[in-house]
Amino acid sequence: MQSIIARIEAGERITGPEFLRLERAADLHQLGFLANAVRERLHPDPVVTYVIDRNINYTDICISACKFCAFFKAPEDAGGQVLSKDELAQKIAETQALGGTQILLQGGLHPNKPLEFYEDMLRFIKATGIHIHGFSPPEVVHFSQLSGLPVKEVLQRLIAAGLDSIPGGGAEILSDRVRREMAPKKCGADQWIEVMEIAHGLGLRTTATMMFGHIETVEERLEHLQRIRDLQDRTGGFTAFIPWPFQPDHTPIAAVRKIEKTSAVGYLRMLALSRIFLDNVRNIQASWVTQGPKIAQLSLFFGANDFGSTMIEENVVAAAGVRFRLSEEEIRRLVADAGFKPQQRLMNYTPVP
Amino acid sequence: MDAYIEQAGLGRILTKVRKEERLSMDDGRTLFNHPNILALGYLANIVRERKNGNQAFFIYNQHINYSNICTNLCKFCAFGKEKGHDLAYEMSVEEVKAKVRQRLDEPIDEIHMVGGIHPDLPFSYYLDLLRGIKEVRPDVHIQAFTCVEIHHLAQLVGKSVERTLQEMVDAGLGSLPGGGAEVFSPRIRQLTCEKKLPGAGWLEVAKTAHRLGLRTNATMLYGHIETIDERLEHVDALRRAQDETGGFLAFIPLAFHPKNTAMAEHSNTTGINDLKNIAVSRLMLDNFPHIKAYWVMIGPKLAQVALSFGADDMDGTVKEEVITHMAGAETEQALGHKTLIRLIKEAGRQPVQRDTLYSVLATF
């Protein structure tokens, strides 16, 4: 352990086996001090950033039927919706009125909308001037399969229609064993990485997420982090990593199998381990949406340097029974109270004056 | 990890903590003003593990608030109501007994019972409450009536505090909870609860109880208008009282909840502030055996983390919590036994079910 700690303190990269050793043997204080040291090395100024944006879920109709999701409606279910242009316009106007700079545009895998539908939606939204952070890799792969076009061409057409960056959703755990059980119809781990690699090659910046605390092993968490770190070595295209624990309430898997919700200590440990392992990803986001304001504030000492988004609207976690809400003012108060300077940012982490 | 403490400028305090030397008020100021919560947690954890090892305690208890009618009407309180108010209530002895009876099938070890300063319930009512509970559940430990209520009852009946307490013990009282301490500072009491028993009076009742062989807890309500020095003076007064009697079991920092109070303009406490109060009180109160992270106040998530920041007790399963929830607490009303045990284990601690006096009933 002492040699691993010394390596981290010297700013060196740790290996997979060293990650597993830390995960097993390090206590909460050690992980906090080490993650905080890595964070301070990457961000010597005591600034914590956040973005003002809104999640817009253009549809909840989804053919993927992931077992961890409490949000989707199957196509044959009644009650699924696709947002109209009027609804989109109103949501964007509200976002801009609150000083919002971007929207996070994600939806279910709709069975039959053509690529032109999404291009049209992008062009419509782009007319407002807002940054479109949209379409996670499973959506891009789905569009590619429906249209018969390669991923690269799909992305080029989406970029031409106004797509600015890609959110890191749908990564869940980048391990095929986990995906086969939890989300067999969703794109595989290789495909997720491939979409991100192509996107980075086309000049898009993206984030990466990890949803942990369900059926995965520690080794599979490591596999996930390793794949993110390897791709980042090749492209440098990830702006941030966002780990958040699975919220089991109302999900299909929770109905058939008892999965305990990850505790706050479990979350802080994983956050710190991510900060330590992902030495080449500059920013780590706290997940106040799943952890609430108190633990989110504390996560600024466990590796996080970003408070994520104000999320004027959020539907997916809320569907799993977790409904924390924070205003921009409250985020600024929490950040300042923890001893940092709050700073609004854009998707690419440049400050908003 | 000692190097991180040195780097944070807390090396001198670390040395004192390792040597078990008492920290000064100046040390307390340094700690409260320090920006690195990890360093405070690490220091507090040294004391926590010295005193309680890897154990984390909880109790299976039942809360009963016999009445919310109160003549004090403290500004930070959303629970107390004037007599005649729409939301005012008082339970008869029979109603309280029924509440106890309802849960006879559960392994409850403690009944935690507090109320307001009621203008006209007679002393006999309180004795009947104690006797009534014991009648229904003879083995249960009754932790009831804050020092403020005890003082009020002594005045009401025209007897000394000592005599009053003795009669209550004879009727079944087992220990006193730590409420009503708020912040001892006369300035704070003047501004927020001017009718309440002053700090010196609160301490006198607690010490009298200790001399009669009763164990008691102590609280501090933080996160409103109090200064750091006022917190430290509060903690220091408790430390001196404990030097005299040794009767305090646990210190419980209580996070102010502004909603529905006359001080609703304040914000909720932050997680960092909550942990700071737990860590600094663990470090300053070197003669208190236990520091409690009351999950009802700060949420189960932060209470779990607090087990590494100085706290060794998560309180209990608590059902029907009313006082904090009337002030807008969004925590669950009850945490299941199993959930508590799981949270403690995931924090790397050993769950220990205790009785009121911290005897071990079961380990998990």
Q: For residue B331, what is the nearest residue in chain A, using CA coordinates? A: A292
pLDDT in tens, B148-157: 999 999 999 9
Chain A positions touching B348 (Cβ under 8 A) are 27-28, 265
Sequence-ordered list of residues with C-beta below 8 angstroms from that of A145, at least 6 positions apart, any chain: none
Structure-token match 């799981």, residue found: B342
- pLDDT tier at A323 (50, 70, 90 boundaries)? confident
List of chain A residues whose C-beta atoms are within 8 Å of the C-beta of residue B274: 294
Nearest to B17, CA basis, from B41, B46, B40, B54:
B46
For an interface test with B, the pick among A28, A259, A329 (most B C-beta atoms closer than 10 Å) comes out as A28
CA angle (A293 as vertex; A290, A296 as ends), nearest 5? 70
- State chain A's mean pLDDT as an integer: 95
What backbone phi and psi angles, to 5 degrees, belong to A152?
-60, -45
- Whether A36 sits inside 8 A of B343 (CB atoms) is no
| pLDDT tens digits for range B321-351 | 667 777 776 666 567 788 899 999 999 999 9
Query: Are B305 and A265 inside 8 Å of each other by CB?
Result: yes
Chain A residues with CB under 8 Å of B300 CB are 264
What residues contact B91, with CB distance under 8 A and at least 6 apart?
A: B64, B66, B67, B99
* CA of A338 vs chain B CAs: smallest distance (Å): 6
What distance in Å separates the CA atoms of residue B43 and residue B310, rounded to the nearest whole number? 8
By Cβ distance, the residue of B41, B267, B271 closest to A294 is B271
Q: Which of B272, B273, B314, B338 to mutate to test the interface with A (most CBs of A within 10 A)?
A: B272
Mutate to test the interface with B, among A27, A33, A247 (most CBs of B within 10 A): A33
pLDDT band per the 50, 70, 90 thresholds, residue B320 = low
- Looking at residue A353, its pLDDT comes to 86
More confident call, A314 vs A80: A80
Tokens of A143: 């569009």
Query: Is the confidence at residue A156, as pLDDT, over 70?
Result: yes
Answer whether A29 sits within 8 Å of B274, measured CB to CB: no
Beta strand pairing call for B215-222 and B173-176: parallel
Closest chain B C-alpha to A134 CA, distance in angstroms: 32
Whether the pLDDT of residue B176 is over 70: the answer is: yes
> Tokens standing for B265?
């303009």
Mean predicted confidence (pLDDT) in B66-94: 96
Lowest mean pLDDT among A74-83, B9-18, B36-45, B195-204: A74-83
pLDDT in tens, B265-309: 999 999 999 999 999 999 999 999 999 999 988 999 999 999 999
- Residues in chain B closer than 8 A to A299 (CB atoms): none
User: Among candidates B265, B162, B152, which has minimal Cα distance to B214?
Assistant: B162
Segments making up each domain of chain B, as ranges: 54-363
- Asked if B299 lies within 8 A of A268 by C-beta distance, the reply is no
pLDDT of residue B319: 64
| B298 contacts in chain A (CB < 8 Å) | 294
**Position B107 pLDDT exceeds 70:** yes
Superfamily (CATH H level) for B54-363: Aldolase class I (3.20.20.70)
Is B132 within 8 Å of B96 (Cβ atoms)? yes
Q: Is B346 on the interface with A (CB under 8 A)?
A: yes
| Pairs from A63-67 (Cβ < 8 Å, separation ≥ 24) | A63/A108, A63/A109, A63/A110, A63/A111, A63/A185, A64/A108, A64/A109, A64/A138, A64/A183, A64/A185, A64/A186, A65/A185, A65/A252, A66/A172, A66/A182, A66/A183, A66/A185, A66/A186, A67/A181, A67/A182, A67/A183, A67/A251, A67/A252, A67/A253
Which of A30, A266, A301 lies nearest to residue B37, judging by beta carbons?
A: A301
Helices (H), A183-245: 189-201, 218-235
Question: How long is chain B?
Answer: 364
A102-136 per-position pLDDT tens digit:
999 999 999 999 999 999 999 999 999 999 999 99
* H helices present in A251-324, as ranges: 252-256, 264-277, 288-298, 316-319
Q: Which residues in chain A have Cβ-Cβ distances shorter than 8 Å to B275? A: 298
Between CA B272 and CA A249 the distance in angstroms is 28
B347·A334 Cβ contact <8 A = no
Cβ neighbours for A326, distance < 8 A, ≥ 6 positions apart: A288, A293, A310, A311, A334
Q: What is the share, in percent, of chain B residues with pLDDT greater than 70?
A: 97
Is the CB of A295 less than 8 angstroms away from the CB of B274? no
User: Looking at A92-101, B20-29, B35-44, which range is the least confident one?
Assistant: A92-101
What are A's interface residues with B at a Cβ cutoff of 8 A?
27-30, 32-33, 36-37, 260, 263-266, 268, 291-298, 301, 333-334, 337-339
pLDDT bucket at B39, cuts 50 / 70 / 90: very high
Closest CA to A305 of A45, A34, A48: A48
Q: How many beta-carbon contacts under 8 Å exist across A and B?
A: 81
State the smallest CA–CA distance between residue A269 and chain B in angstroms. 10
Q: Please state the three-class secondary structure of chain B as a single string.
A: CHHHHHHCCCHHHHHHHHCCCCCCHHHHHHHHCCCCHHHHHHHHHHHHHHHHCCEEEEECEEEECCECECCCCCCCCCCCECCCCCCCCECCHHHHHHHHHHCCCCCCCEEEECCCCCCCCCHHHHHHHHHHHHHHCCCCEEEECCHHHHHHHHHHHCCCHHHHHHHHHHHCEEEECCCCCCCCCHHHHHHHCCCCCCHHHHHHHHHHHHHCCCEEEEEEEECCCCCHHHHHHHHHHHHHHHHHHCCEEEEEEEECCCCCCCCCCCCCCCHHHHHHHHHHHHHHCCCCCEEECCHHHHHHHHHHHHCCCCCCEEEECCCCCCHHHHCCCCCCCCCCHHHHHHHHHHCCCEEEEECCCCCEEEEC
What percentage of chain A reaches a pLDDT higher than 90?
90
**Tens-digit pLDDT profile for residues A257-282:** 889 999 999 999 999 999 999 999 99
| Contact criterion met (CB < 8 Å) for B270 and A30 | no
User: Can you give the pLDDT at residue A292?
Assistant: 94
pLDDT given at position A212: 97
Q: Which of A312-316, B119-123, B173-177 has the lowest mean pLDDT?
A: A312-316
CB contact under 8 A, B304 and A264: yes
Q: Is the pLDDT of residue A320 over 80?
A: no
What pLDDT, on a 0 to 100 scale, did the predictor assign at position B334? 63
The CATH H-level superfamily of A45-344 is Aldolase class I (3.20.20.70)
| Percentage of the residues of chain B whose pLDDT score is greater than 90 | 91
Q: For chain A, what are the domain ranges?
A: 45-344
How far is the CA of B23 from the CAs of B44, B50, B51, in angstroms? 12, 16, 16
Interface contact B308, partner A, CB < 8 A? yes
* B328 against A7, higher pLDDT: A7
**Cα dihedral sign, B259-B265-B268-B273:** negative
Residues 6+ apart with CB under 8 A from B53: none
d(CA B123, CA B171): 12
Amino acid present at A46? P
List chain A residues with CB under 8 Å of B342: 260, 263
- Note the ipTM here: 0.93
Answer for the pair A260, B345: CB distance below 8 angstroms, yes or no. Answer: no
pTM of the model: 0.95
Q: Across residues B113-121, what is the average pLDDT?
A: 96
B 30-69: CB under 8 A from A = 35-38, 41-42, 45
